Amino acid sequence: MKPKALITGAAGMLGKDMAKALEEAFEVIAMSKKRLDITDYTQVQKSFTSIAPEAVINCAAFTKVDLCEDQSQVAFDVNAKGPENLAKACKKLNIKLIHISTDYVFDGTATTPCREDHPPNPINVYGRSKLQGENYITQTCPNHLIVRTSWLFGKEGPNFIKTMLELSKTRESLQVVNDQMGRPTYTKDLSMAVLLLLKNNAQGIVHFANSGCCTWYDLCCYALKKAGRNKVNVEPISSDRFKRPAKRPKYSVLNLERFEKITGQRPRPWQEAVDSFLIEIGEYAG
């Protein structure tokens, strides 16, 4: 009989891929916000007590970075209070907690890939709320795994690549920032990485993303080229010209060495992951 794994935020882009990936080794209980609101501790404890999972994978998050600036209370409720509730219940019932976090806990001033012990210093509400969630978990639940990732894209939800593909259908030119550097991550690859980390009983904080790094401009150009949208002109611009409510880190490239050491596997390049994603959504032109 397979051990049980409960996934929170299971209706989201990552949650859906996570549920598929974990079915290989677990009996998966996929719970959307409608079934389990992580901001309600009583509900969390009741669900965990009745289901008795061996592991909880928290994919629930308020990830709209700009909206977090205006809705900071919601951001901290979901991204900080929610993980605290999960951590309390997991500790009480001796359940392993796996939590997905973000490169936005860093301020972007690094010049080399950020290791797990690089000092966090978030520069927007989203990053601050996610860091507080991390801190609650590390302080409350000894049996935890926090997986920081970055620049997610996947079939089941809105993301940067989908947005650029949609805009390219009606526009002859696009302006994309060229001074923010990070690692794109395919939700299918992240989900398989979590499964690998669980199999290796990983603890603490681990970074995972697809290998290689790029700017949003690079990512846009590559995706449009592979989707056969070569006629669209993509203009690189600075963040200063593209005003948004939330500041973004200029450099949030994650160091992947700990993941590689634990699992013995190197994440595939982001370009290969984008190709697979475009094939999955029927947009790959070669």
The torsion of the CA quartet 261, 266, 270, 273, rounded to 10 degrees, works out to -120
Residue 126 annotated among the catalytic residues of the structure: yes
Structure-block tokens of residue 162: 């989908």
**Using CB atoms within 10 A of its CB, is residue 164 exposed (0-12), middle (13-18) or buried (19+)?**
buried
Structure-block tokens of residue 204: 């603490």
Q: How far apart are CA 102 and CA 155, in angstroms?
A: 19
Catalytic residue among 41, 104, 126, 222: 126
Q: How far apart are CA 53 and CA 50, in angstroms?
A: 9
Q: Kindly list the catalytic residues.
A: 126
